[in-house]
Amino acid sequence: MRRAVCPGSFDPITNGHLDIIARASKLYDVVHVAVMINQSKQGLFTIEERIGLIREITAEFGNVEVESFHGLLVDFCKERDIPAIVKGLRAVSDFDYELQMAQMNNGLSGVETLFVPTNPTYSFLSSSLVKEVAAWGGDVSHLVPPRVLGALTERLARK
Ligand code: PNS
């Protein structure tokens, strides 16, 4: 079984994330989506909500498993025998930090990182920008899956 992991905060998952997960799911037998638990940062959605949304949205791929993790990503990989991390690269500005992480992760455990060029439609896209635009009433319907748009609209209305 060829396995890979797509890690992230996914607060919430965007069409950019989904594009990378969909492409990884064609290249690997199983894709693990690993949702990072960050105790020092309060998200808009809880970890369970993020996992629920990602599970619903990726169910159609048939080979995506969604879990949370805390601590080192390489430990998540080791426990599940995952040899590869798949990451999207949006622009050159992503590259410096992503390269550092890839080299650190490889040095720690031998896990490889594969970079997938983001679809140019989503090269400016991030969860933070989606939240900011949506919070001010901007239209993000082309940037997130419909299920996420509903959850976002409902959550922001309660704030
Ligand atoms: O969506 P994000 O917040 O940009 O994702 C960042 C993430 C989760 C991929 C990165 O912070 C990570 O891998 N964190 C796990 C902790 C870890 O392994 N740190 C060492 C990286 S070299």
- Superfamily the domain 3-123 falls into: HUPs (3.40.50.620)
Find out whether 143 and 14 touch, Cβ atoms under 8 Å.
Answer: yes
Give the global pTM.
0.97
Q: Where are the alpha helices (DSSP H) in the chain?
A: 15-27, 47-58, 73-80, 92-109, 127-135, 146-158
Name the residue of 9, 11, 36, 75 to mutate for ligand 1: max ligand atoms within 8 A of Cβ: 36
Residue 104: name the closest of 68, 70, 71, 74 by CA.
74
Averaged confidence pLDDT in the chain: 97
- Tens-place pLDDT, residues 43-58: 999 999 999 999 999 9
- Tens-place pLDDT, residues 62-112: 999 999 999 999 999 999 999 999 999 999 999 999 999 999 999 999 999
Cα angle, residue 2 at apex, residues 23 and 59 outer, rounded to 5° = 50
Q: What integer pLDDT is reported at residue 140 of this predicted model?
A: 98
Q: Whose CA is nearest to atom 7 of ligand 1?
A: 8
Whether 90 is a known active-site residue: answer yes
Angstrom distance (rounded) from CA 119 to CA 125: 10
Q: What percent of the chain has pLDDT over 90?
A: 99
Give CB contacts under 8 A, 24+ apart, made by 43-52: 43/9, 43/11, 44/11, 44/12, 44/131, 44/152, 44/155, 45/11, 45/12, 45/151, 45/155, 49/151, 50/9, 50/10, 50/11, 50/12, 50/13
pLDDT band, residue 158 (cuts 50/70/90):
confident
Going from N- to C-terminal start, the domains of the chain cover 3-123
